[in-house]
Structures are given as structure tokens and as C-alpha cells.
Amino acid sequence: MAVLVLPQALWERVVAHCLDGLPMEACGLLAGVERTGGVGPGSIEAGEMGAGEVGAGEVGAGGAGANGERWRHEDLTVAEVCEVYPAANAALSARLYTVEPKDLLRADRAAERAGWSLIGVWHSHTHSPAYPSPTDIAAAPDPLWHYVVVSLSDTEPVLRSYRIVGGQVREEPVLTRGIAARALGW
């Protein structure tokens, strides 16, 4: 399984960009690093996670995975977001987004200069839940990416992250860095 670590300051920048984009959908890129295995034993319980810090149904429902198992570090892929790059929505739409190609190139180059990779994308849903739409699923370009959806349809923004592989959607926990450090033994 995978975990997305999104520092609180970057969480706020993502959500702020989504709010700034209203009434249109907003989007941007996530840059960071990924590590698999050897990241320390997991011991997160749902109650340890603060509001706005976690958007994963499987954690909320079962502590750590739908079946309630603790995270086993040898199976865990940790994707740490080191920077976020807001992008223009070239679709200029409240229902669709297209990351402006120039912004995509700029983000890719900036990430590379910093020693990171682009590891995902975020976009807002202005009137629907934080779950990938059929359009999102069909258009997902990279099975290794993390697809973050920010819903602005309720009183508070809701941010959740997913992997989309072969049309299958799997939600992943989103942790702030502080919680990840405690949970993953950093």
C-alpha cells in the first residue's frame, strides 16, 4: 500500500489554490520522492489524525487498512510531497481541468533541478465529492502517480488521494509530515 505525506503548509497551498480558482476547477502538480519498505513500523490509529490532515477512508474506517491491520513497513510505499506547483486550468471550466502544458513543463524542470520527480496531480471538484470522476479515471496518465482530489462542495475543503491503475481506483492515506514521522519512525 501507499501513503502520501503532504506537509501541512503544502496542504494549505493546494487548498488555497483550489479556492482561488473558484468557480472554475483548479489544478497543479505534486513533486517529491518515493520510498518503498524500510521506513519504520506503522502504528497509526484513526483517532490520532487531525481534521483536514487525513482523507483516507481506509484509515478512517479501520485504523490502518480496511481490515484493521497495522501497516507493515516492508509493504509500504511512502510518497513524500516536497513541493506543489499550482498550474493554470487550460480548460477554464467548472467541470473539467487540463494542466496548462507550459506549467507542466515548468513544474517538471523545477522538480528535476531540486532532485525530485513529479509524483502526482491535484485538482478541485467544485460541486462533487473528493473522489475521481469517470473522466479522471479515464484520463489518468500514469499508474505510478498520486491523484489528489479536493472537494469544495461542503463547508470545509476535503482533500483525498488515490492511485488509479488500469481504471481501478484505490484510496491512500494522506498524512502530514508530523504524523508521518511519528507513525513511520522517521
Partner 1 sequence: MPVEVRLPTVLRPLAGGGAVVKAEGDTLREVFKDLVRQYPGLSESLFTPEGDMHRHLNVFLNDDDVRYLGRLDAKVGPADTVTLMPAVAGG
Binding site for partner 1 (CB under 8 A): 25, 27, 29, 91, 95-99, 101-102, 104-105, 108, 117, 121, 123, 132-136, 139-144
Q: Which is nearer to partner 1, 16 or 105 (CB)?
A: 105
Whether 37 and 86 have beta carbons less than 8 Å apart is answered as no
CB of 123 to partner 1, least distance (A): 6
CB of 62 to partner 1, least distance (A): 28
Q: Which is nearer to partner 1, 59 or 172 (CB)?
A: 172
Q: Which is nearer to partner 1, 126 or 176 (CB)?
A: 126
CB of 102 to partner 1, least distance (A): 7
- Distance between CA atoms of residues 108 and 118, nearest Å: 6
Phi then psi dihedrals of residue 67, to 5 deg: -95, 5
Q: Which is nearer to partner 1, 106 or 182 (CB)?
A: 106
For the chain, the first-to-last Cα distance in angstroms comes to 18
| CA 105 centroid distance within chain | 20
- H or E stretch covering 47: none
